[in-house]
């Protein structure tokens, strides 16, 4: 591992330390594979699960190759979920063959990296071209969409596992200003009150 890389916990929404994410991910992966190969419990990456929130990974019923590939995938995905970008996953991809000799681990790191690069580029294109007026116009092209006085926003979130954006309806008053600064892809909708289970007739059933 590169001796000049120092870990830091100073990760914020606005500025994420990409080298620190990669360092934590590769350290986790080293420990996870050591535990797996020595028949010890394997827990999820510390970037996502810490302390009492640790989650034990189920690696008992699949093939050896599948288990190792899962651990590699999880390391990359943890970086993305923590606001990591191309720089961080490139660090991780480059460090894997410096540390591991296992062919499955090294080959899977390249495959996962290339998939994520494609997904990141596609996400950036989608977000750069996002036009709330276009999305709103398409939504209201159905004249049966019910109106009302409750202020909602249809928010688009990115699913890193599926590789695309999905929408969900959120009451504006239920979130603070910081939430809407972080979650920037949405359009306004004034509709009727949702039912007790969060549904609106016609839109949801």
CB atoms within 10 A of CB 106: 16
Confidence of residue 171 (pLDDT cuts 50, 70, 90): very high
pLDDT of residue 2 exceeding 80: no
Confidence of residue 88 (pLDDT cuts 50, 70, 90): very high
Tokens found for residue 146: 């019910």
pLDDT of residue 191 exceeding 70: yes
Instruction: Taking the CA atoms of 197, 198, 201 and 205 in sequence, report the sign of the dihedral they define.
Output: negative
Confidence of residue 58 (pLDDT cuts 50, 70, 90): confident
For the ranges 3-12, 50-59, 118-127, 133-142, the lowest mean pLDDT is seen at: 3-12
CA atoms in the 13 A half-sphere facing the CB of 71? 32
pLDDT of residue 87 exceeding 80: yes
CB 79 within 8 Å of CB 113: no
Q: State the helix-helix crossing angle for 103-128 and 64-81, rounded to 10 degrees.
A: 30
Quote the CA–CA distance of 93 and 109 in Å, as a whole number: 6
The pLDDT tens digits of the residues spanning 42-53 come to: 988 888 887 666
Q: What is the mean pLDDT of the chain?
A: 88
Confidence of residue 11 (pLDDT cuts 50, 70, 90): very low
Beta strands 186-191 and 150-159: pairing type? Answer: antiparallel
The whole-number pLDDT of residue 163 equals 80
Confidence of residue 61 (pLDDT cuts 50, 70, 90): low
The whole-number pLDDT of residue 161 equals 75
pLDDT of residue 93 exceeding 50: yes
Give bridge partners of residue 56 from the DSSP assignment.
43
Percent of the chain with pLDDT over 90: 69
Tokens found for residue 143: 């004249």
The whole-number pLDDT of residue 189 equals 97
């Amino acid at each position: 591992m590169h001796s000049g890389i120092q870990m830091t916990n100073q990760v914020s929404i606005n500025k994420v330390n990409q080298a620190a994410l990669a360092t934590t991910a590769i350290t986790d992966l080293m420990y996870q594979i050591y535990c797996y190969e020595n028949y010890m419990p394997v827990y999820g990456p510390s970037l996502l699960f810490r302390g009492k929130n640790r989650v034990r990974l189920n690696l008992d019923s699949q093939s050896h190759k599948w288990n190792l590939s899962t651990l590699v995938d999880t390391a990359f995905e943890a970086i993305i979920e923590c606001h990591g970008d191309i720089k961080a996953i490139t660090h991780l991809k480059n460090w894997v063959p410096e540390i591991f000799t296992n062919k499955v681990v090294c080959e899977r790191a390249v495959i996962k990296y290339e998939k994520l690069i494609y997904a990141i580029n596609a996400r950036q294109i989608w977000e750069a071209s996002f036009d709330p007026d276009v999305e709103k116009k398409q939504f209201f092209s159905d004249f049966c969409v019910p109106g009302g006085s409750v202020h909602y926003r249809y928010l688009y979130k990115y699913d890193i596992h599926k590789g695309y954006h999905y929408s969900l309806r959120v009451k504006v008053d239920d979130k603070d200003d910081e939430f809407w600064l972080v979650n920037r892809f949405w359009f306004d909708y004034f509709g009727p009150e949702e039912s007790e289970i969060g549904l609106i007739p016609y839109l949801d059933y």
